[in-house]
A and B are shown apart, each in its own frame.
Chain A
Amino acid sequence: MNQFDWLSDAQNQSVLYALSRRAVEEVAPEELPFLEERFPDYVELVGQHGVAVEGADDAFGFAGEEELLTVIIVPALAATLAALLIKKGTGRLADLRDVEQEGLQSRAAEKEQLAAELDEKVGRRVPGGVSRQQLLMLLATIVADYLAR
């Protein structure tokens, strides 16, 4: 069994898409067209193999190479959800709603503060001015929110 088998389910796909969209809207709205356009490719390919995104930074070309946050956000969310699904022994995201919400949220809030402190100390930033820690915390919060609904 593949850890991404659950993505063959249309309802699971739409949940992943909705969560990814929320994160992308928050940190990289310019990548929304990328998410909309390329999400189906990701879902199609991720079950078979890892997915690669390549751009050509040619003179007088159409797009350059850059680190797209979407290619971090979608897999990170997918892997988080996959881990939760495996732990709960289910294939449907809807079945995850009965996990302990309070604990998840409070831990996310604690880690968010820790992330802010880390940012100040380390000063690491990913393109778009969002730090890695902030991004991870945002994703954790989005997943926690979803589960708490």
Chain B
Amino acid sequence: MNEGEVWTVEHGASRELSIRQFPSQTTATFYLILFVFLGAALAASIGPSPVCMTPVLLSLLLMPVRAVLAVPRRELALEDQEAAAALKLNGAYQRVQEAIDGLAAEVGFRRPIRLIVSRRPNEARASGSWRRHYLLLGAELLEKVARDLGDAAQRDKAQALLLHEIGHHLHRDVQRIGYAGELLKSCATLLPWWTFFLIGWLGLALLMGEAILEVDIQSVTGLTPELQELLAPLLTLSPEEAAEVRSRLESVSAGLLLSFLLNAFFPIAVTGLVLWLFFWRRMLRLQEFYADALVAAQGLGWAELGAAIARYGYSVRPAPPAQPGLGNAIRRALVGRLARFGAEPGETTAFIGTPDRWGWRSRRWLSLHPTLRERRLLWLEPQLFLEEWPGVAWATAVLVLTLDVMLVNPLTGYHLSAHPVHISTIGIFLLVSAWLMPMLALNRPFWRPLGKLLLIVFGLRWAWLALNVALLLTLATLAPAFTQELLNLTVLSTARSVVVPETVVVGDPLQMSLAILPALFGLQLVQLGGVLLLLALYTLFQRGVAQHARAADWIKRHWLLVVGLAVIVGALFVTPLSDLVGGRGAMLVTTRRMMLYTGALLVGFVVWLQLRRLRLVADE
């Protein structure tokens, strides 16, 4: 099927169906994570703050970029120069490089992909940074691929391997997932570091501030006059400056400062770690299917891809003798990289698997690749992958809830406390619409699975909310003093204040908890309404998409609609209703809100124009 032609869908025409024609969950997840994390970093630097957030923000923004940009240097440094020289001498390197160039041109990837000889003999991997693209092959594997390219019986397998790796570049997996991984890892490592650094540094300032103000540089013995002259302006403050510093030192509460720092950074760090451990890997696993789909699009079958995976994906070699010792036993049990494929000579029993039901299952969560079974199933029945709703439901429920929990921190809560359901509403729509689009394009019945999907998403959210409310009410009843302290700390942290207020913010914790419940439940209904409205409008616009849009425009059309609807419904539905539920009715007609409504309508108009243009192109 040509990408340009209008595609009338017939259910079961799986051989013509490619998942590459539809928006991927990975892309939706990537943009959601990027938006939330970078938004949180940006929000941290806006508004008053007890500590200067600029260095934190800059480190969080720049370190992942630096890590991605450093990839080429790292890969090139690890290149096996000797093997590369030998392979260039016998022409194997050139043969594989030519094949890569040819296949990349065939699939429409215009930038050069450089072949690197990896030190790991059986490695096959795509790598690179923003504008540099590499394909790493171990020396042994490269030689095998070069040989196979010249053998008519094996050529398809070699091409399947190369196409799969080119697919990772074509789908920008290396850049997007690579950057997302670095961003999440940076959050998990940098923010705890910043927390401890700031606790130490600010704690020292609080403890030593008074003493430093009292220092008279002239009385310090052992300093040369030049050094005293150099240090004097740094340590000597005018009486007014000294008084201001003294008053600030006295007003700052060390406990509140500690609470602010822990509340501000740890939710983001923990969320970053959790997302990196599970969701980032899920993104990688999903993208493997898309890389496989590129192989299919080039006319190769599962027989070729499956054989290529067996031929190049695994190394079969004499087993090294088992190393005794506790350390090796633990390593084997935990990592389990090596599967012995037979018995030692002289042994009378064969090796039968490993008894690790839980080990295998838990490794699946952390795995970077789908199983052979999943890859084959998707290859043969791509519509099953597109229609599979439970995975999307649980991933959406857990991801959006995790991000929601993360956003309840002083850095973002300061700005979002008036609009707590906006991001999760848009997040749910973003992820669910990526599943809904193929259902609409394929004319598949979607109401029932969509209902179940939303039931899981909202069921989990409301269960979590109910648990929190129950916990809060129980604490407020059984331990009112402790709960009052806790709520005061939370309110002051969210207000980014480290000064003990003259009056207690939260008096009666039970009364306050009960008072916020109506608004809390009202907001949940606003969110449900927002998601339903978004999905209804999306369905309205996308229904019959296969009949009135080119397959090549499906993805563009999807993203245009997602952005347009999210802005319009977010500004014109969720915002005013949140204002009303939150008791801020007067905000509805302020100049700021009017500008927001006008901006949303403008975005809607631009999106409508773009959609119309896409449709006109299809009509031609």
Contact = CB atoms under 8 A, between A and B. Distances in A.
Interface of A: 2-4, 28-34, 36-38, 41-42, 45-68, 71-72, 74-76, 78-80, 83, 124-128, 132, 136
Interface in B264-312: 284, 302-303, 306-312
Interface of B: 120, 122-127, 161, 164-165, 168, 173-174, 177-178, 181, 284, 302-303, 306-320, 336-355, 357, 360, 363, 367-373, 375-377
Contact of B310 (A29, A34, A61): A34
Contacts of B308: 62
Contact of B161 (A32, A56, A62, A128): A62
Contacts of A33: 302-303, 306-307, 309-310
B314 A63 contact: yes
Contact of B360 (A32, A64, A72, A127): A127
A132 B351 CA distance: 13
Contact of B123 (A30, A56, A76): A56
B365 to A, nearest CB: 12
Given A59-B368, A64-B368, A51 B125 contact: no
B319 A67 contact: no
A75 to B, nearest CB: 4
Question: 3 closest Cβ contacts across the A-B interface?
Answer: A64-B369, A63-B313, A79-B350
15 contacts: A3-B347, A30-B376, A49-B345, A50-B345, A53-B314, A57-B368, A60-B168, A60-B173, A62-B124, A62-B164, A62-B313, A64-B367, A64-B368, A71-B341, A128-B373
B138 to A, nearest CB: 9
Contacts of B340: 50-53, 71, 75
B353 A67 contact: yes
Nearest to A45: B318
B126 A60 contact: yes
A51 B127 contact: no
A52 B320 contact: yes
A52 B315 CA distance: 8
B307 A37 contact: yes
A49 B164 contact: no
B307 A36 contact: yes
B338 A54 contact: yes
A29 B125 CA distance: 26
Contact of A78 (B120, B178, B342, B373): B342
A65 B337 contact: yes
Given A59-B181, A61-B313, A67-B360, 12 more contacts: A2-B345, A3-B343, A4-B345, A30-B375, A50-B341, A53-B315, A58-B368, A62-B164, A63-B314, A75-B341, A75-B350, A79-B350
A28 B373 contact: yes
B34 to A, nearest CB: 18
Chain A: interface secondary structure? Answer: mixed
Nearest to B313: A63
A128 B370 CA distance: 13
A3 B164 contact: no
Contacts of A76: 350, 352
Contacts of A63: 309, 312-314, 369, 372
Contacts of B354: 67
B428 to A, nearest CB: 28
Contacts of A126: 353, 357, 360
B372 A55 contact: no
A83 B343 CA distance: 12
B32 to A, nearest CB: 20
Contacts of A80: 350
Contact of B309 (A62, A128, A136): A62
A71 B302 CA distance: 21
B362 to A, nearest CB: 13
B318 A68 contact: no
A75 B377 CA distance: 26
